[in-house]
Amino acid sequence: MKSPAQTAQFLAAVFGLYPNLLSADFALIRYQNDIFQLHSDTSFAAHPSYPLLPENPPRSADIEIRLYNSNPDQPCTQAQAYGYMVLAPATDKPHGLLKATILCPDGYIWVPSHPLA
């Protein structure tokens, strides 16, 4: 991603997820009992996929980063309050989830959801 710090700021504002570690190139984010890592594009400069990265967002329209067991109502409200794009508000889905779809400034799609039952 272009800016782990910018995405970490988005995650804090929208989902209440804060970095355990944050630098210019990396962020470690705790979600429930797990930790995931954000990498800057420059940290992948030697990676074979680096030349394939597009210059302009949206960059990852082909993936969704799903945050299961998260009520999507609050993140939608927070995203709108901070001016982030809610692509789909919290909606009951036939497969049994209440889910929303939110785009972060770095072009990644985040999907909070939880079971309807």
> Could you tell me what percent of the chain has a pLDDT over 90?
69
Q: Quick one: pLDDT at residue 60?
A: 63
Higher pLDDT, 33 or 42: 33
Q: How many domains does the structure of the chain reveal? A: 1
| Whole-Å CA distances, 90 to 25, 57, 60, 74, 96 | 32, 24, 21, 9, 13
Q: Quick one: pLDDT at residue 62?
A: 65
Over residues 69-83, the pLDDT tens digits come to: 999 999 999 999 999
Which structure tokens are listed for 32? 């429930």
* Domain extent at residue 60: 4-115
Over residues 8-20, the pLDDT tens digits come to: 999 999 999 999 9
| CATH assignment at residue 103 | 3.10.180.10
pTM for this entry: 0.83
Average pLDDT, the chain: 89
For residues 15 and 5, give the distance between their C-alpha atoms in angstroms, rounded to a whole number. 15
